[in-house]
Structure 1
Amino acid sequence: MYRVASASEYLVITGFGIDDIKIAKKAWVLPGQSYSVFDISPVNYTFEVMAMSAEKLPFILPAVFTIGPRSDDDDSLNKYAKLISPHDKLSHHVNELVKGIIEGETRVLAASMTMEEIFRGTKEFKQEVFEKVQLELNQFGLWIYNANVKQLVDVPGHEYFSYLGQKTQMEAANQAKIDVSEAKMKGEIGAKLREGQTLQNAAKIDAETRIISTQRQGQGKKEEIKVRTEVKVFENEREAEVAEANAELAMKKAKWAKDSQVAEVEATKAVALREAELQKEVEIMNALTQTEKLKAEFLSKASVEYETKVTLTYIP
């Protein structure tokens, strides 16, 4: 037979060919095998746990736990299928099992704490109860999906929480009166302090104003002296630059005058030398002319004398 479980159910199959159990959403159930169906939807368990503190003071812990198997953990499903699924999850057996775990862990934890610690640390107390209960439920494959622990309740004849609440209210009322008185006193003192601070601040502002005014006047004078000094330095620097420029110009003029005089002397000497050279050339030319003239005269006289001698020699 082919069997299919619904959305919130699982098949648990045992028998031929299966060593332990087989859990599946759908499967063939073969001859020699048997199957059952178990629901994994969580169930709400409501309890009023009777516990006792370290001072032997009893109290009631109302709680609602939403508990069921973990569908995302195969090991938890196996434990649940073996230990819980044979019983109706709403049966007295399962209810007593869960109640016993919750009561046992709550009583053990409460016995190690004083009423004051339980009352002051209710949130931490509840969280520790959840953790210890979950640790025990793990062995049955159960998981706490949600847990709601209500306000701790007194056992008749032991109105500790009532008295503690009244004490807290009285302390709060007394503290409120003290706070009002302190607030009124602080208000009056604050007003006086504010008035004194106002006068002090006014005097302080006046003094600071005079100081700032004096500082600004002194700063203004300092700036004026600084500007005058800078102007004087600038004027001196300019005068020095002018003097240096004048000196440099005078030196250049002197050099230019010297160079001009040297040039004039050199020009005069050059002219004289040229005149001397020209005069020498003239004299040389005159000497050459005279020499040529003398040569010509001597040559002419010699020629005449020669011709005369020759003529005289050949006369018959």
Structure 2
Amino acid sequence: MSYRIAAPDEYLAITGMGIKNVHITKTAWVWPFQRCSRFSVQPHDYAMNLQAMTKEKLQFLLPVVFTIGPDVNARGANAKGAKQAAHAGSSSQADHVNDEDRGDALMKFAMLLAENDNSKISKHGLEQIVKGIIEGETRVLVSSMTMEEIFTEREEFKRRIFRNIQGELDQFGLKIYNANVKELKDAEGSVYFQSLSQKAHEGATNQARIDVADARLKGTVGEAERHGKQEQEIAKINADTAVKKTERDAERARAEAALKTQETALNRDVELARIEAARSTQAQDEDLKKAVEVKRAAAELERLRATDLVKAQIKRESQQQAADAKAYEITADATANYEKTTKSTDAAAYKTKVDAEAYSQAAIKNAEARLQEKLKEAEGMAAMAEAYGRLGQAFGGPAGLLQYMMIERGTYVELAKANAEAIRGLNPKISVWNTGAAGAGGEGGSQDSAATMRNVYQMLPPLMTTINEQTGITLPEWQFGRLAGELGHGVDKNVAQVNGKKREN
């Protein structure tokens, strides 16, 4: 075990026991079965002289210098509050975070350098990767632009190179600290920039001559204008000075008047404050005197209360002593009676306890026997319920199980036998009578007005006879017997079929 400390421009990368991926830190204890590597975070310059071709198939040399190093600010999971940043980050940043490096740029860089134990070979490999990215992205960008666009939009060209290369370097935890695109040069066998330079030189020379002539003309005219404006400005300044001097004098007079007014107001406020302070002191003095008198009266009241309280306490203590003596006598008698009663009660309680224990043992044994019996019955019922549940599932539900059990146990046959036994020996009587229009000797439309009443009275005698035969109830003769004899000649003879026999009423 050892304690490692990194230099100001270094970090420690620790792997091994107890560390899931790679732990990036400045200082740490390195335990057994752990490995610690140092890596520098100093940026390096990558100078390249790229040969590229524009959209018009023009070849040229593009000298560039990039300052690239590890991104020490994008710490990801190793930084404080990384979990909150991972949840609150944008979706584009979350897409670049994987489960291995958790978006930590230094962890990505450390894993890139860990490809080989030899640091020189690792630096060489890193240089090849960076130069390959710069060269590839620059050539792709140049091939989509014309030479005119490259010249006229130098800043946009530089920003696009920076953005494209930075997007590729993010996966290795690297950051572009500076990018410098130098002047473009002709490739071998090309004189494009030389021709443009000569053209620009000649144009600049001619334009310089024109500019010199224009400058001389402007100088002569401008000198005359300057003299005139100088005299005008001097007169204007003198007038402004006089006006400002007058305004300053007026402001000084106003300030002196305001000062005197403020002094008067301050003197008045001071005098008022002095008077208020004197009155306040007098009022406080009166309040203090009043408070002293109140406290003196309260003290006298408390003294009188204390005197009465002492007298009452002495009287209460004497009464308490007499009561205590009486209570002691009562307590002594009660104690003697209690001891005597306790002895007899203990004997009876001991006997009752012995009998209760014997009865309790017998009751416990009986209860245990009944419990075992109930448990066995419950187990049998549970097994039977489980079997019925499975039969119900097999027959499609409780209804199917019920039909199966009724068929299995002959319930339907028993029900049929019980129904047959219930109606055996019955001798039902059925009476049918007719009091319709046919007895009147005509159709429904030719009856007289008394036909309805006559039909009702004709129906009553056979109805009473039927009730008597079926229930044994005989109605009084004075109500229906004589009436039936008198109206018997007018009642139609109706034939009733009862148990296969004909009967006339």
Q: Structure 1 pair 176/32, CA: closer, same or farther in 2 (3 Å)?
A: same
The aligned residue for residue 162 of structure 1 is 194
Aligned residue identity for 2:174: L
RMSD over aligned CA atoms reads 2.6
The question of 1:77 aligning with 2:106 is answered yes
Larger radius of gyration: 1
Matches of 2:108 and 2:29 in 1, distance apart? 22
Matches of 2:159 and 2:12 in 1, distance apart? 35
The aligned residue for residue 22 of structure 2 is 21
Matches of 2:158 and 2:12 in 1, distance apart? 36
For residue 189 of structure 2, give the secondary structure of its aligned residue in structure 1: coil
Question: Runs of 5+ in structure 2 lacking a partner?
Answer: 76-103, 225-505
The question of 1:34 aligning with 2:35 is answered yes
User: How far off is 1:184 after superposition?
Assistant: 8.4
Q: Structure 1 pair 115/12, CA: closer, same or farther in 2 (3 Å)?
A: same
Matches of 1:83 and 1:66 in 2, distance apart? 18
Aligned residue identity for 2:185: V
Q: Structure 1 pair 185/140, CA: closer, same or farther in 2 (3 Å)?
A: same
The aligned residue for residue 254 of structure 1 is none
- Give matches, 1:93-242, under 5 Å: 93-177=125-209
Q: Structure 1 pair 175/34, CA: closer, same or farther in 2 (3 Å)?
A: same
Aligned residue identity for 1:31: P
Aligned residue identity for 1:64: V
Q: What is the total number of aligned residue pairs between the two structures? A: 191
For residue 35 of structure 2, give the secondary structure of its aligned residue in structure 1: strand
* TM-score for the superposition, normalised by structure 2: 0.35
Matches of 2:29 and 2:159 in 1, distance apart? 44
Give a deviation string over 1:151-171, Cα, whole Å, max 9, x none.
111112112111112222223
Identity %: 52
User: How far off is 1:142 after superposition?
Assistant: 0.5
Matches of 1:39 and 1:185 in 2, distance apart? 63
The aligned residue for residue 417 of structure 2 is none
Larger strand percent = 1
Give a deviation string over 1:219-249, Cα, whole Å, max 9, x none.
xxxxxxxxxxxxxxxxxxxxxxxxxxxxxxx
Matches of 1:187 and 1:39 in 2, distance apart? 61
Q: Is the 8 A contact 2:12 2:25 kept in 1?
A: yes
The question of 1:44 aligning with 2:45 is answered yes
Q: Is the 8 A contact 1:61 1:149 kept in 2?
A: yes
User: How far off is 1:185 after superposition?
Assistant: 9.3
User: How far off is 1:183 after superposition?
Assistant: 7.4
Q: Is the 8 A contact 2:113 2:123 kept in 1?
A: no
Q: Which moved more, 1:18-27 or 1:160-169?
A: 160-169
Q: Is the 8 A contact 2:45 2:65 kept in 1?
A: yes
Matches of 1:165 and 1:98 in 2, distance apart? 33
Q: Is the 8 A contact 2:5 2:26 kept in 1?
A: yes
Give a deviation string over 1:231-286, Cα, whole Å, max 9, x none.
xxxxxxxxxxxxxxxxxxxxxxxxxxxxxxxxxxxxxxxxxxxxxxxxxxxxxxxx
Matches of 1:176 and 1:72 in 2, distance apart? 51
Q: Is the 8 A contact 1:48 1:61 kept in 2?
A: yes
Aligned residue identity for 2:169: L
Q: Is the 8 A contact 2:30 2:36 kept in 1?
A: yes
Give a deviation string over 1:69-122, Cα, whole Å, max 9, x none.
022221111111111354537733111111111111111111111112112222
Question: Runs of 5+ in structure 1 lacking a partner?
Answer: 195-316
Give a deviation string over 1:121-179, Cα, whole Å, max 9, x none.
22332232122111211111001112222111111211211111222222333444555
For residue 13 of structure 1, give the secondary structure of its aligned residue in structure 2: strand
Matches of 2:176 and 2:141 in 1, distance apart? 18
Q: Is the 8 A contact 1:118 1:125 kept in 2?
A: yes
For residue 55 of structure 2, give the secondary structure of its aligned residue in structure 1: coil
For residue 118 of structure 1, give the secondary structure of its aligned residue in structure 2: helix
Aligned residue identity for 2:22: I
Aligned residue identity for 1:82: M
User: How far off is 1:58 after superposition?
Assistant: 1.0
For residue 42 of structure 2, give the secondary structure of its aligned residue in structure 1: coil
